Amino acid sequence: MASQFEILLSWNIDRSWALFLDRDGVINRRIMGGYVIIPDEFEFLPGVFTALKTAAKLFNRIIVVTNQQGVGKGLMTEKQLQEVHDFMLEKIKEAGGRIDKIYVSTHLEAENNPMRKPNPGMAFQAKKDFPDIVLSKSIMVGDTEKDMIFARNAKMKAVFIGNPLEIELPRQLYDVFYPSLKDFMDDVKSVIQK
């Protein structure tokens, strides 16, 4: 069986590729059973700044795709969500990284809106906004089964953050898995330099 490194090598990643990132659990600490409502509750995960600084040099586009049904539930406003994202973008930029655009679905899960992951609407919207994005040359990094199904629905590579065995994630849903975004980016950097 091919190692994770060999799998990444076989993708032939180059500067034309796009990186799609989930937010909670990949960029910042997920609040279990709750939502990040104010910037003070937004806690970057270890190594994220380094990872995004590396990603900024290696990827053509870096896109965040996030479900935030806390807005749909009335637990937070669009304005509060925007303040959290402004804070996130500012800190990433200060650290030498970048995010080209954030796509958000505030729809309730029950609505099954095409823009809400695992539906691929946000990926298609990103492709429309950035015609240079090729979904088959895009990588989705996420920490839930929904993220992995989103990747498959959009025909992207799927990178799981965390231990797939812990959530009994079916093997066909992801290509590789890493403990963190930084660990994944370290391997991508090595692969591109090969």
Give 24-36 pLDDT, tens digit per residue.
Answer: 999 999 999 999 9
Tokens of 21: 């990132």
Set 14, 22, 100, 129: catalytic member: 22
Q: Answer yes or no: is pLDDT of 2 > 90.
A: no
Q: Are 148 and 26 in contact (CB under 8 A)?
A: no
**pLDDT tens figures, 124-182:** 999 999 999 999 999 999 999 999 999 999 999 999 999 999 999 999 999 999 999 99
Residue among 101, 90, 95, 18 at smallest CA distance from 53: 95
The pLDDT score that the predictor gives to residue 3 is 93
- Which residues share a beta bridge with 20? 63, 140
Q: Which of 99, 88, 85 is nearest to 55 (CA)?
A: 99
Given the residues 24, 143, 147, 175, the one annotated as active site: 24
Q: Which domain holds residue 86?
A: 14-193
State the total domains in the chain: 1
Confidence grade of residue 194 (pLDDT, cut at 50, 70, 90): low
Residue 178 within any structural domain of the chain: yes
Q: In this structure, is residue 69 part of a structural domain?
A: yes
- What is the pLDDT at residue 185? 98
Query: What is the CB-side half-sphere exposure of residue 180 using CA atoms within 13 A?
Result: 15
The verdict on residue 7 lying in a domain is no
pLDDT greater than 80 at residue 94: yes
Question: Residue 38's pLDDT is what?
Answer: 96
CATH of the domain at 86: 3.40.50.1000
Note whether residue 79 is domain-resident: yes
Within-domain flag for 8 = no
132 is catalytic: no
- pLDDT tens digit sequence for 57-89: 999 999 999 999 999 999 999 999 999 999 999
Domain assignment of residue 1, yes or no: no
**DSSP characters for 141-178?**
EESSHHHHHHHHHTT-EEEEES-TTTTT--GGG-SEEE
Question: pTM of the predicted model, to two decimals?
Answer: 0.97
Q: Give the pLDDT band (50/70/90) at residue 113.
A: very high
For this structure, is 22 an active site residue?
yes
68 in any annotated domain: yes
Question: Does 81 fall in a domain?
Answer: yes
Mean pLDDT of the chain: 97
